[in-house]
Amino acid sequence: MTAGAKERMSWAYLASYWIFGTALRIWNHYRSHDPENVPRKGPCIIASNHASFLDPLVVGCGVSFRQIFFMGRRSLSKNPLMRWWMNSIGVVFVDRDRGDVGAIKAGLRILKSGRPFFLFPEGTRTLDGNLQPAKGGVGFLIARAAAPVVPVYVKGTFEASPKGRFGIRRAPISVWYGAPIQPEEYAGFLADRDGYVGLGAMVMARIAELKAKADASQAEPPGPGRGNPAPE
């Protein structure tokens, strides 16, 4: 992508943004907080906690001005319709059992092209609602990309649809976007493998700070939730 070029969103991504965003606002009183922390241009990594299959939808629907590229389990691609949809919205498939180096390379290609790339530092969904340690490969990817990292905390998806539960409860859901962690802030973690682990822990610490902020915030009155502006 050339400097100054305006990013385009695929029609499938735009349609998904409107459909899922509307459903979340109606069913789960969805609200987003500080989405302006996501840079409007250039590469960035969006790193979120993982409590439910809803998390990517929740994070994506909070940002109206950029198409976010996601990772997804390769097993989901077995369904032809699901594979078509996920390819259409920019999902990179990951083989979690073998450690998919190809997915990391694909993520780096997306970042090198100047686009946002979303990942879960924890790797898998939490079973108890608590934050988990970051997986080792996350720090490596961040270090190689040398891009700003936006920590994100998703609240309420564990209550709405935890792992192993069928259906979605009408629990309030909100997403909190933190200030980007700039490359110069984590430059000291890039020396070796232990540094990659420390970098992953740093990202999870920032997510934990957002969790504390979300937990401490006063409960907002029920309502349709704050609408997001139309994608640009």
Provide the strand spans (E) within 98-232. 116-119, 149-155, 174-177
Are 71 and 107 spatial neighbours (Cβ–Cβ below 8 Å)?
A: yes
- What region, left, alpha or beta, does residue 167 occupy, with left being phi > 0 and alpha being psi -120 to 50 degrees? left
The pTM for the full model equals 0.88
Determine the Cα–Cα distance for residues 204 and 211; give it in Å rounded to an integer: 10
Q: Please give the Cα distance from 141 to 45 (Å, whole number).
A: 10
Give residue 30's identity as a one-letter amino acid code. Answer: Y
pLDDT of residue 224: 47
- pLDDT band at residue 76 under the 50/70/90 scheme: confident
Fold designation for 11-216: Glycerol-3-phosphate (1)-acyltransferase (3.40.1130)
Q: With 60 as the cut, is the pLDDT of residue 220 above it?
A: no
Q: How confident is the model at residue 102 (pLDDT cuts 50, 70, 90)?
A: confident
Is residue 154 within 8 Å of 49, Cβ to Cβ?
A: yes
Nearest to 151 by CA among 215, 203, 212: 203
Least-confidence region, from 101-105, 152-156, 198-202, 211-215: 101-105
Least confident piece of the model among 8-17, 90-99, 150-159: 90-99
Does 164 have pLDDT greater than 60?
Answer: yes
Which strand (E) or helix (H) includes residue 84? helix 80-88
pLDDT of residue 226: 47
Q: Encoding tokens for residue 144?
A: 């190689």
C-beta separation of 38 from 116 below 8 A: yes
Provide the pLDDT for residue 4: 43
Two structure tokens written together for 26: 């109606």
Q: Are 204 and 121 in contact (CB under 8 A)?
A: yes
